[in-house]
Structure 1
């Protein structure tokens, strides 16, 4: 193996070189300039005296097209559009060989002895790039679209759907190579199955909304639909019990670590293209990002004996008990990636000694710290959106201490926020006139509560902004004003101030897709009757990985076909993605 972060066995000289060179910012121009391919020269099928198409530029172009999975005959046109790359390969950018020179039959005749080497190198290079978040392996020049688009050059729906199918499968293949190897599972020393087969079993259970303990039978059906009964797989192969046993051998902390690593890998794969879509100030993804903090509730209806991780639920839930999981997602106008998860509900994981007063199963400020520390590894956080459960003095103290801007819906308590909302009509400034918004701003609104390292009734302040009722508001009672906590510089003094404040607070709707995404995560997670919390935690976190893979396939597919849209829903539906994954998993078995 080559490279500190690589789990890939490198078998070619060129892929070993790439592993030494490649990082998240390396593009083909830089890579081509550094590659030494002289050792392959003696396998060139064209005589040395043929100066018209020298070995180095031709071989690099051949390798490039293979890695990027592009047609060979289209190489001249694509290089003509990228003269810097043509020069890096060694071509005269004003005199690139013709299309006929790159016909597959001619390349096969010339590089026949190197064909298997290049194919192996290309696969390994794509894997290295995927692990390190390099743009290599995702050349998206729109050279493969049809000509049946509209007058402005947009591809037709038929073209889009065809490319969604084709490109989606390619991205799917590569993502499987990124996410699954990041999740090592224990297995017996003499097992006849590979470790990856347990993850395939878990994925099958997730995709088919199956119980994890019955997915072994489904896996056997997929692996061999016409089995020999004495096949050792049916005697000793992985079953749902095998998976459950493997998960039970992992601690809660170990599951948390490997799942967060897998989530990081999926985000890393998308990051090069996300950076290209940033606005000029870098405020969307790679440089200054918005993140959302959430609590996710997974209903629990079983016996609660010895279930220390089980939590009570808010009054608006249709069940009394649940497991709670904290998540942090990077929020964009078009994409929402879960980048961190943590389980809640055990005093062993709550850092209780650092808080005054009675121990709790978790402290929401400490949850915020844990999740923000994960997001800090990805981006410089520009703004934090959090759900209403994060309305606490401890969270406000944390965000202020980190110097982060935030917007959080406020709880309408009986003594502080609730009475202000009840008096909104009397307190508000502004009128129902064009380009004016009635709202109320109370600056330095005080709240009290336990703060880590402080006292049990610490005082913190934030600006309280109350907006008019909204029919689409599913957080507050119908007809009630909408209160928010923020440290943005807001005012309700003049119409311009009110418009600006309203626009800033209403950007909270950017996280609206996050609120809806957790039903999709649950749809992408296996279920279990096991009372072991480790199993339930593993299934939820793995569901987050499957969910991220769905979003990445959708985004990168749009990226490849050159039709990226600011969509409220992914172009590829979750059910369609799960169908793809179901079929693709068969090839893993």
Structure 2
């Protein structure tokens, strides 16, 4: 009979909640900031709001909201990315033993955007987009966030996030995210979807010294290259976008005939001698981990009705931070295969000990409700 594996011991130092709270406290510098950070993590685990948690734990959440209301979105975003960088340092500290693929070989990065529904007043951060509601498309307001992550088979780790303004060009967003890549990392290529298939974006990535892989859009001259592929069998071409304009840019295109008037392809600046469509396609499949990551962050999202975009950016960033910690735990304890519920229970136990929460008064349901006997 197969013997069950002995339980793995997990220390709270492995997760780094205390060190992260110190980073939060040092950056935001308001009274009990580190304590509020731990309560925010608790909210994310319970998928509740700060207001509801304050009712249960008999403290006021007003101090947090007042202070964050005095900060700009850029300042709060910087604080969020500082926390994400600290989580990367926790990963890097364990990488030699548990994640040698990150240390010993170049990694793939993925940049993508995601939308969060918003019901507040219109401003420069609010986008209008179409969403399916039932069988109809409806124009709704959303806040748009971009992120950059390490992606590999069954692994995603967020390095940085940023909100996107409504009229902000994508190349500026990409430039901002690439500056968040830690110096320790060796990068093979940056993966982006068709939404980033712009000469300005590719020039920006090139200028920053990174390679990229982006699916091509199928129109006009690209379809002409496909016809040449059918006739000649040549699948690699030099292609110039926005020829004769200030945004003119030349890159390599690899096409693949899918049969029956169908094709797909990738744009890249990777060295031609080592490339093929198959290599690019296999690398690009890792980008789907960032999509899965957006879904997984919903398990660690704080509820809020706040119209403060800075606080919403903090909520978005903290969901990625906890997912990073989950990723570190899964890499550190690969045999245990730690699930979302196990990770939540583990973090709650750590928080209970760190916070040393006081017992609630007799008969009190919340600070505003009391049971009458």
Q: TM-score range by the shorter chain?
A: 0.7 to 0.9
Unpaired stretches in structure 2, ≥5 consecutive residues = 356-373
Whole-angstrom distance in 1 between the partners of 2:242 and 2:247: 5
Residues 270, 552 of structure 1: 8 Å contact kept: yes
The residue aligned with 2:293 is: 517
Match of 2:201 among 379, 385, 395: 395
Note if 1:261 corresponds to 2:69. no
| SS of 2:200 mapped into structure 1 | helix
The residue aligned with 1:209 is: 47
The residue aligned with 1:459 is: 248
Q: Count residues with an aligned counterpart.
A: 348
Whole-angstrom distance in 1 between the partners of 2:155 and 2:311: 29
| SS of 1:320 mapped into structure 2 | strand
In the TM superposition, 1:74-223 aligns within 5 A as: 158-159=4-5, 162-163=7-8, 166-167=9-10, 170-171=11-12, 174-184=15-25, 185-187=28-30, 194-218=32-56, 220=57
CA-atom RMSD in angstroms: 3.3
- Residues 276 and 582 of structure 1: is their aligned pair in 2 closer, same or farther, counting only changes over 3 Å? closer
Residues 172, 553 of structure 1: 8 Å contact kept: no
Residues 290, 332 of structure 1: 8 Å contact kept: yes
The residue aligned with 1:3 is: none
In the TM superposition, 1:469-480 aligns within 5 A as: none
- 1:322-367 Cα deviation digits (max 9, x unpaired): 2111211122345321111112116xxxxxxxxxxxxxx2121122
Whole-angstrom distance in 1 between the partners of 2:107 and 2:14: 28
- Residues 315 and 488 of structure 1: is their aligned pair in 2 closer, same or farther, counting only changes over 3 Å? farther
The CA deviation at 1:404 is 2.5
The residue aligned with 2:220 is: 415
The residue aligned with 2:211 is: 405
Residues 12, 350 of structure 2: 8 Å contact kept: no
Match of 2:110 among 273, 276, 292: 292
Note if 1:503 corresponds to 2:279. yes
The residue aligned with 2:242 is: 448
The residue aligned with 1:578 is: 344
- Residues 269 and 286 of structure 1: is their aligned pair in 2 closer, same or farther, counting only changes over 3 Å? farther
Residues 229, 235 of structure 2: 8 Å contact kept: no
The CA deviation at 1:175 is 1.6
The CA deviation at 1:424 is 9.4
| SS of 1:313 mapped into structure 2 | strand
- Residues 298 and 159 of structure 1: is their aligned pair in 2 closer, same or farther, counting only changes over 3 Å? same
Residues 171, 553 of structure 1: 8 Å contact kept: no
The CA deviation at 1:403 is 3.6
In the TM superposition, 1:339-378 aligns within 5 A as: 339-345=159-165, 361-378=167-184
The residue aligned with 2:96 is: 275
Residues 274, 286 of structure 1: 8 Å contact kept: no
Residues 390, 408 of structure 1: 8 Å contact kept: yes
Match of 1:311 among 110, 113, 127: 127
Which has a greater percent of strand? 2
| SS of 1:461 mapped into structure 2 | strand
Whole-angstrom distance in 2 between the partners of 1:464 and 1:320: 36
Match of 1:535 among 295, 311, 315: 311
Give the TM-score taking structure 2 as reference length.
Answer: 0.81
Residues 117, 141 of structure 2: 8 Å contact kept: yes
- Residues 324 and 245 of structure 1: is their aligned pair in 2 closer, same or farther, counting only changes over 3 Å? same
Whole-angstrom distance in 1 between the partners of 2:304 and 2:312: 7
Note if 1:323 corresponds to 2:143. yes
- By relative contact order (CA 8 Å, sep 6+), the higher-ranking structure is 2
Whole-angstrom distance in 1 between the partners of 2:189 and 2:195: 17
- 1:396-449 Cα deviation digits (max 9, x unpaired): 11222234222112234x43446767x6994684xxxxxxxxxx7341222229
The CA deviation at 1:377 is 3.0
- Residues 376 and 415 of structure 1: is their aligned pair in 2 closer, same or farther, counting only changes over 3 Å? farther
| SS of 1:445 mapped into structure 2 | strand
In the TM superposition, 1:211-250 aligns within 5 A as: 211-218=49-56, 220=57, 234=58, 237-239=59-61, 241-250=62-71
- Residues 419 and 315 of structure 1: is their aligned pair in 2 closer, same or farther, counting only changes over 3 Å? farther
The residue aligned with 2:361 is: none
| SS of 2:168 mapped into structure 1 | coil
Residues 99, 331 of structure 2: 8 Å contact kept: no
Whole-angstrom distance in 2 between the partners of 1:457 and 1:315: 35
Whole-angstrom distance in 2 between the partners of 1:176 and 1:367: 29
Whole-angstrom distance in 1 between the partners of 2:228 and 2:277: 16
- 1:29-71 Cα deviation digits (max 9, x unpaired): xxxxxxxxxxxxxxxxxxxxxxxxxxxxxxxxxxxxxxxxxxx
Whole-angstrom distance in 1 between the partners of 2:229 and 2:117: 38
Give the TM-score taking structure 1 as reference length.
Answer: 0.53
